[in-house]
């Protein structure tokens, strides 16, 4: 499920403040019929803003996978996100380099 699916044009930006975003995240969790799934991945924006905080506080998170790129600024932002996740005590936190992940996906697609 993606908020982008609800937009008139997929190129339209979503310009919402924290409370609206938090409400949509909670509504996606409670109102979408997910069925019986073993794993659910929640793709979040980078950093320590309203979306990650809402997810950590509202959803039954057992672990976190952080995908990062080998750049200094990205490393700093991801480091803060990892510390935030650890401080929220939401299970194991794993960091994956995006290049490594792309290689795995390419190998699976062959």
pTM value is 0.65
Q: Which tokens hold the place of 92?
A: 């194991």
The reported pLDDT for the residue numbered 60 is: 84
Helix extents (H) in 32-71: 50-58
The pLDDT value given to residue 90: 66
What is the token pair recorded at 72? 């200094």
Task: Give, in degrees to the nearest 5, the angle at Cα 88 between 85 and 93.
Answer: 35
- The residues near 75 (Cβ < 8 Å, ≥ 6 apart) are 68
Note the helical H segments in 10-49. 18-31
pLDDT for 12 equals 93
66 within 8 A of 94, measured Cβ to Cβ: yes
Helix axes 72-87, 50-58, angle to 10 degrees: 30
Q: Classify 72 as helix, strand or coil.
A: helix
Distance CA(11)–CA(8), nearest Å, equals: 9
pLDDT along the chain (110 residues), means of 10: 87 88 88 87 80 85 78 82 79 65 69
């Amino acid at each position: 499920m993606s908020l982008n699916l609800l937009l008139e044009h997929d190129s339209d930006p979503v310009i919402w403040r924290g409370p609206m975003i938090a409400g949509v995240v909670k509504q996606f969790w409670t109102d979408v019929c997910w069925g019986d799934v073993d794993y659910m991945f929640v793709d979040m924006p980078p950093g320590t803003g309203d979306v990650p905080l809402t997810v950590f506080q509202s959803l039954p998170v057992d672990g976190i996978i952080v995908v990062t790129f080998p750049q200094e600024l990205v490393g700093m932002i991801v480091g803060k996100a990892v510390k935030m996740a650890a401080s929220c005590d939401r299970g194991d936190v794993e960091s994956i380099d995006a290049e490594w992940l792309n290689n795995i996906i390419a190998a699976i697609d062959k």
